């Protein structure tokens, strides 16, 4: 998969993307990729929450509120969702 790799951000522990899943600690969160007008986007099967103690996967029914926008060079992504901040990760 073209977006496989280890992504980091100073806010929290790294996130690994591996064959259609975000690997967060011991959790695997699957996602679907969509080629949108302004670039590649991912929609995870579960919410991904960024908190002061790191990144967590949370099984809730509002996963549709989370999406990920990949950079044009596919070496980074921005996590967008219910948190009040956006978080950018790079590999």
What range defines the domain where residue 53 resides? 5-90
The whole-number pLDDT of residue 41 equals 92
The whole-number pLDDT of residue 82 equals 63
The whole-number pLDDT of residue 60 equals 62
* Strand ranges, E, within the chain: 5-9, 12-18, 21-24, 27-36, 39-44, 47-51, 54-58, 67-70, 76-80, 87-90
Count structural domains, the chain: 1
From the first residue on, what is the mean pLDDT of each consecutive set of 10 residues in the chain (91 residues)?
89 86 85 90 83 67 72 91 77 94
Residue 19: phi and psi, rounded to 5, are: 50, 55
CA distance 91 to 77: 9
The whole-number pLDDT of residue 3 equals 93
């Amino acid at each position: 998969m073209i977006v496989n790799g280890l992504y980091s951000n100073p806010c929290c522990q790294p996130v690994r993307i591996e064959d259609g899943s975000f690997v967060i600690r011991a959790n695997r969160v699957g996602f679907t990729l969509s080629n949108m007008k302004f670039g590649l986007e991912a929609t995870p099967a579960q919410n991904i929450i960024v908190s002061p103690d790191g990144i967590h996967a949370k099984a809730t029914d509002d996963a549709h509120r989370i999406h990920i926008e990949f950079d044009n060079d596919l070496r980074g992504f921005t996590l967008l969702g219910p948190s009040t901040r956006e978080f950018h990760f790079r590999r």
